[in-house]
Amino acid sequence: MGSVSLKLGDGTARFKRSTLCSSAVNILMLFSVLATNLFALYAFTYSPKHHTITPFHHKNITLISQHVSLIIKQIDSSQKKLARIENQLLGYQTLNVSRPNLANELKLFLQHHQLPLGKDSRTGITEMVASVGHSCEKSAGLLSQYMTYMISGPCPDDWSLEQKLILRGCEPLPRRRCFAKTVSKVGLSTWSGLGCKNINCLNKKPNGFAFDRQKYVKATSKNDFLIDDVLAMGNNRIRIGFDIGTGSKTGTFAALMAEKNVTIITNTLNVDALDSDFIAARGVFPLFLSLDHRFPFYDNVFDLVHVTSGLDVGTKPEKLEFLMFDADRILRVGGLFWLDNIHCGDDQKKRTLTRLIEKFGYKKLKWVVGQKMDGAVGSGKHEVYLSALLQKPMRI
């Protein structure tokens, strides 16, 4: 009797018109369903005439119903309370957008967005949640100030406010709908909030700001490793790396590695200067985030992780472990973990750092402990420094 076709890609799904036989079967199935439901209704509602419910039985039934209802309410209340506690512990939904004087742009950004096709069968999520650090709740006033601007206009010159929020744990920051400040030429004169307007001034700072190209080309102490030696120990298989710490604030390490056809991403914050501008001006990649942030990279992607600071063991051991495990996570098997002149202070702190490193089972390609006087420390004494070149093992 014909058919209706629905074209799906290269195939065709066909829906045949119902025949007389199939219609009879459908009517029979419908009658069976109705009969079954009527029988069930009769069975549940029928009560023999000789069966009498006494007041005592009725009272017991009422009492049981009340208890069951109370238990259900208590379970529901407990589930809601546990959900609130979990949300507070995780920092999820703790940013109260109903508070007064909160920027409308922030409220708009934090709104949850339902998935257009409903619940995702693979992940189970039903909505997209804005990615904002849970510690932003503690700095809601500053965050609201950061999100106060003219839509589609120029962004405020507030890089110092942005960094202040990041250092308070408020990262990632929300996106904004304004145009970032553009400059025709990178220079100190374009920076706001800085006392120095030239390189000589910056070099007088305690940590300096020197473009020392010789550090990785010619050793000045036994703790200094040369780039060519490190690449050779990596069997010339070093292609991409991650540079952690303030020791490469000008991007010198990344720039020298680029000459060896190695791509380096440099972690940076703006300390006394807009370090990210300097690094980008040299044609290398700056990554603006604090060391408390989980590194935004997939597992086992880097051939080299180079660390110049951030491992000072004066902090809590657990916090140092979090950093070490995250650095290890992004380093591939066989990759090199380069500890470059890590300040330990004294032998005791050096032993503490050594014990932590030994947990990872790295192969020690080079391990040098030395002393040198560091004016930045301020004590005028010889301080203990550790340099090491480690290779990540295969773990089962």
Q: What is the pLDDT of residue 211?
A: 55
| % of the chain beyond a pLDDT of 90 | 19
CA-to-CA distance for 324 and 206, rounded, in angstroms? 27
pTM: 0.64
Q: Please say if the pLDDT value at position 101 is more than 90.
A: no
pLDDT over 80 (residue 126): no
CA dist 220 to 180, 247, 345, 379, Å? 42, 16, 20, 22
More confident residue, 247 or 162: 162
Coil vs helix vs strand at 97? coil
pLDDT band, very low/low/confident/very high, at 57 (cuts 50, 70, 90)? low
pLDDT confidence of residue 231: 94
Hey, which of 129-133, 230-234, 317-321, 371-375 has the most confident mean pLDDT?
230-234
Q: How confident is the model at residue 212 (pLDDT cuts 50, 70, 90)?
A: low
Residue predicted with more confidence, 151 or 26: 151
Q: Collect contacts of 176-180 with beta carbons under 8 A, ≥24 apart.
A: 176/105, 176/146, 176/147, 176/149, 177/105, 177/151, 177/152, 178/149, 178/150, 178/151, 178/152, 178/153, 178/154, 179/152, 179/153, 179/154, 179/155, 180/155
Q: What are phi and psi of 217, to 5 degrees?
A: -110, -35
Identify the pLDDT of residue 79. Answer: 72
pLDDT digits over 270-303, tens only?
Answer: 766 677 777 887 888 998 888 778 888 999 999 9
Report, as an integer, the average pLDDT of 17-32.
Answer: 51
Average pLDDT on 214-222 reads 82
Q: Rounded CA gap, 76 and 33, in Å? A: 35
Sheet holding 240-244, edge to edge: 285-288, 263-268, 240-244, 302-307, 331-345, 382-391, 363-373
> What gap in Å lies between CA 92 and CA 113, rounded to an integer?
15
- Mean pLDDT, the chain, integer: 74
- Quick one: pLDDT band at residue 48, thresholds 50, 70, 90? low
> Which residues lie across from 364 on neighbouring strands?
390
Decide if 6 contacts 12 (C-beta within 8 A).
Answer: yes
- Measured CA to CA, the distance from residue 240 to residue 263 in angstroms comes to 5
Angle at 339 between CA 160 and CA 371, to 5 degrees: 100
Tens digit of each residue's pLDDT (9 = 90 or more) over 59-97: 666 777 777 788 888 787 877 776 566 555 444 455 666
Contact 99, 140 (CB under 8 A): yes
Yes or no: say if 277 and 202 are a contact pair by the CB < 8 Å rule.
no
What pLDDT score was predicted for residue 118? Answer: 74
Give the CA radius of gyration of the chain: 33
Higher pLDDT, 24 or 260: 260
Does 25 have pLDDT greater than 50? no
391 vs 118, residue with greater confidence: 391
- By mean pLDDT, which of 1-10, 175-184, 229-238, 270-279 is the weakest? 1-10
Could you give all domains of the chain from N- to C-terminal order, each with its CATH number?
95-181 (no CATH), 210-392 (3.40.50.150)
d(C-alpha 347, C-alpha 370), whole Å: 10
Q: Which residue from 319, 375, 367 is spatially nearest to 342, judged by alpha carbons?
A: 367
Shortest CA distance to 246 belongs to which of 283, 218, 206? Answer: 206
Q: Do 227 and 257 meet the contact criterion of CB atoms below 8 Å apart?
A: yes
By the 8 A CB rule, do 110 and 131 touch?
A: no
